[in-house]
Amino acid sequence: MDKTGYEFILHKKGTGPKVKINDYVFLSAVVMDDKNSVLQELTDPENYPSFQLLPPDSLDKPNPIFSILTRLVVGDSVTIYFPKDSLGQGNMDPSIQFLAYNFAVKDAMDETGYKAYTEKKVAENQKRVEELAARLPEVETRVKGDRDAFNSKKLTTQKTESGLEYFIHEQGTGKKVESGMNATVHYYGILKSDGKLFDSSFTAGNPITFKVGVGQVIKGWDEGLTLLNVGSKATLFIPSALAYGEMGAPGGAIPPNSDLIFYVEIVDAK
């Protein structure tokens, strides 16, 4: 038991440097309830949560995570148990008695190291944004061409029982996307009716990552991505019933009963 009163279990002893106060710590995290159901999973190496490990005397109250991390080295993994009465209730199932936070320490950097890391990430992100912006004309032309060919019935698509249609420009050579995987996808979405763009990761500068098959995205995506492999480039023709239906999308960018067209590129799935 930690001095803050929380139980924890050290699962694996790492061989990296010791975590120190004021370090910037990078963790993978999986939160589970007392029934071993996964409530949250933050395990993408490109997006590990990170924070500065502040001195105890700078905190309003003892922090069990901070306290336990100071016992660890990079490479350690630990489970910290948070009893029900220590948690804000929110929308949590009242039958849950505790949550288990499973952390693995992936890295720890001092101020100088963290500054260099963030500068590198900013430069990499800027380069990625510029590369995607350069591809926009190509993607726009492809999506417009697919829409025109589809509407004139000149595009030979494949169709599923649900009504989803799709055309594969390039079938990737990576693993097949399956329900339950975390997929990372670039996309360009337009309305089938008039070709109006409503959302695009090529414009935003970053792909979207989500768990397939659990309702985090529209049904047409959950089904359509499982037809593809990592590395695939495809266009999905999604009927309204598999998109936002009679309600449309919040904000009004997608009107009620809109059929959608998405060009997608599967970057990764794991």
Cβ–Cβ contacts within 10 Å for residue 169, how many?
13
In this chain, the answer to whether the domains covering 8-109 and 134-269 adopt an identical fold is yes
Residue 84 confidence (pLDDT): 75
Do the beta carbons of residue 207 and residue 195 sit within 8 Å? no
Residue 57 confidence (pLDDT): 82
Rg (CA), the chain: 23
Per-residue pLDDT at 88 exceeds 70: no
Q: What is the pTM of this model?
A: 0.70
Residue 161 confidence (pLDDT): 95
Q: What is the CATH number of domain 134-269?
A: 3.10.50.40
- DSSP 8-state class, residue 176: B
Instruction: Summarize pLDDT for 137-157 with one digit per residue, the tens.
Output: 999 999 999 999 999 999 999
Find the DSSP H helices in the chain.
64-69, 111-151, 201-204, 219-225
Per-residue pLDDT at 91 exceeds 70: no
Under the banding of pLDDT at 50, 70 and 90, the label for residue 101 is very high
Mean pLDDT of 225-249: 95
Mean pLDDT of 128-139: 92
Catalogue the long-range contacts made by 188-191 (C-beta closer than 8 Å, 24 or more residues apart). 188/139, 188/140, 188/143, 188/262, 188/263, 189/260, 189/261, 189/262, 189/263, 190/143, 190/147, 190/260, 190/261, 190/262, 191/254, 191/255, 191/258, 191/259, 191/260, 191/261
Instruction: Summarize pLDDT for 173-225 with one digit per residue, the tens.
Output: 999 999 999 899 999 999 999 999 999 999 888 899 999 999 999 999 999 99
More confident residue, 41 or 254: 254
Fold adopted by 8-109: Chitinase A; domain 3 (3.10.50)
Among the residue ranges 14-23, 56-65, 95-104, 143-152, the one predicted with the least confidence is: 56-65
Q: Which residues are catalytic?
A: 187, 198-199, 218, 244, 262
Question: Quick one: what percent of the chain has pLDDT higher than 90?
Answer: 67
| The dihedral sign for the CA sequence 139, 141, 144, 150 | negative
Domain positions in the chain? 8-109, 134-269
- DSSP 8-state class, residue 73: B
Mean pLDDT of 29-37: 89
